[in-house]
Amino acid sequence: MYLKDFEVRWSDIDANRHLANSAYINFMSHTRMSFLWELGFNHKTMAENQIGPVVFYEHMYYFKEVFPGKPIKVSLEVTGLSEDGKFFEFHHNFYDSNGKNVAHCEMMGAWISLKTRSLIGLTDKMMAAFNSVDKPEGFRILTKEDTRRFAKAPQKDLSV
């Protein structure tokens, strides 16, 4: 499991004086990018391969409020990966300064070619980096079908 420490800043607090939902998203994004950098997926590597990560969804579950003044930890576990590395699923947990789990997120994403703007699998070298990461219990091999909540986009357009 990958862990990242954060200080809860004044700008992370909402009108209710607890951690804002947008701060959770920002902390998870920072944790993911730190994890990827440590795997070797830095700006140079991504630019050379003309790829970038995209998020399909993030499902958040909040258990307890987080207030400023005490640090929090955000974890990342690779819970799913397609055989070609195109699709990935990460789980994040948020822990207060006492180690209590205060929130959980399930996120799914993919890699996009910055040249063609279409989804793309990883190179063998990049796959080797992901395959070197410990997999938690329940890890699964993802398929395209796992990435879609709906078979097609809901047809609920607004009439203007």
Residue 150, pLDDT > 80, answer no
CA–CA separation, 143 vs 159, rounded Å?
A: 35
pLDDT of 160 reads 60
CA–CA separation, 73 vs 95, rounded Å?
A: 5
The answer to whether residue 74 is domain-embedded is yes
Confidence category of residue 159, pLDDT binned at 50, 70, 90: low
Q: What average pLDDT does range 85-102 have in this prediction?
A: 96
Q: What average pLDDT does range 120-135 have in this prediction?
A: 93
CATH number, domain with residue 134: 3.10.129.10
Number of structural domains in the chain: 1
Confidence category of residue 155, pLDDT binned at 50, 70, 90: low
Instruction: Summarize pLDDT for 45-70 with one digit per residue, the tens.
Output: 999 999 999 999 999 999 999 999 99
The answer to whether residue 30 is domain-embedded is yes
The answer to whether residue 160 is domain-embedded is no
State the residue range of the domain holding 58. 2-147
The answer to whether residue 34 is domain-embedded is yes
The answer to whether residue 16 is domain-embedded is yes
The answer to whether residue 157 is domain-embedded is no
Interior CA angle at 12 toward 59 and 29, to 5°?
Answer: 45
Task: Give 121-124's long-range contacts (Cβ < 8 A, gap of 24+).
Answer: 121/82, 121/84, 121/85, 121/86, 122/51, 122/84, 122/85, 122/86, 123/49
The answer to whether residue 156 is domain-embedded is no
Residue 18, pLDDT > 90, answer yes
The answer to whether residue 152 is domain-embedded is no
